[in-house]
Amino acid sequence: MTESAENSFNPPRMKTCCCCINLKTGVIIISILWLVYGLYEAISYFIAFGNTNTDSFYSYLSTFTLITGIMFSLTVIGALYGLIVVSFAKITQAYVTIAWSIALRYIINNITEIILFISFKDSYLSYCEDLEEYSEDTCTAAYNNVLLFAIIIDVITIIISIYFATVVAAYRAQQVEKDKNCGSHGA
């Protein structure tokens, strides 16, 4: 197989994050974003879990809330690992796996949120309509707006999380390529 035919099967490698940041800096920024957002979400979900009672509209979400809080805690641990690895050593394949696991967690979590929101539409509408200041039409419009907004945000979050994992993988590939090139010049 010729070199040009061989290269046609390999897509071009990502050279920068967000078209202007070198990959190492991009991985650091991504890890910090995952760390900060993960901390915020883990704390929020654990507080929500602690405040869930059987009278609350959100009581049916208690298991989901607890699991999501734990998953965000794991995101924090993964992001910390990434910050340590990228700052003090070569990024490992393990962080690439962690990055893809974080992306998969976002995908599963976001799809589950939408499914739960759709599944409990009647409960949401009943709860809303029981409040004196809202009519059935107002509640239906609010539900539809929240659902649309949630879907848009969830799709954007999924795309960004896949992109972030791709940046981490590209940086790892760049390091492997540099090591290969350094090793071949030393002979």
pTM comes to 0.79
Domain count, the chain: 1
Instruction: Please check whether residue 97 is in contact with residue 165, taking contact to mean a CB–CB distance below 8 angstroms.
Output: no
Query: pLDDT tens digits, residue range 8-32?
Result: 444 557 787 888 888 888 999 999 9
User: Is residue 16 situated within a structural domain?
Assistant: no
User: Is residue 157 situated within a structural domain?
Assistant: yes
User: Is residue 6 situated within a structural domain?
Assistant: no
pLDDT computed for residue 78 by the predictor: 94
pLDDT computed for residue 12 by the predictor: 58
User: Is residue 46 situated within a structural domain?
Assistant: yes
State how far the Cα of 12 lies from the Cα of 7, in Å rounded to an integer.
9
- Average pLDDT on 49-59 reads 63
Half-sphere exposure of 180 (CA within 13 A, CB side): 6
Query: pLDDT tens digits, residue range 72-124?
Result: 999 999 999 999 988 776 777 899 999 999 999 999 999 998 998 899 888 88
State how far the Cα of 31 lies from the Cα of 29, in Å rounded to an integer.
5
Give Cβ neighbours of residue 164 (< 8 Å, ≥ 6 apart): 30, 33, 34, 99, 102, 103
User: Is residue 36 situated within a structural domain?
Assistant: yes
User: Is residue 117 situated within a structural domain?
Assistant: yes
Q: DSSP letter at 57?
A: G
Instruction: Summarize the chain as % helix, strand, coil (round to 5).
Output: 80, 0, 15
Query: pLDDT tens digits, residue range 169-184?
Result: 998 888 888 777 776 5
User: Is residue 151 situated within a structural domain?
Assistant: yes
Instruction: Please check whether residue 32 is in contact with residue 24, taking contact to mean a CB–CB distance below 8 angstroms.
Output: no
User: Is residue 12 situated within a structural domain?
Assistant: no
Name the residue range of residue 52's domain.
22-181
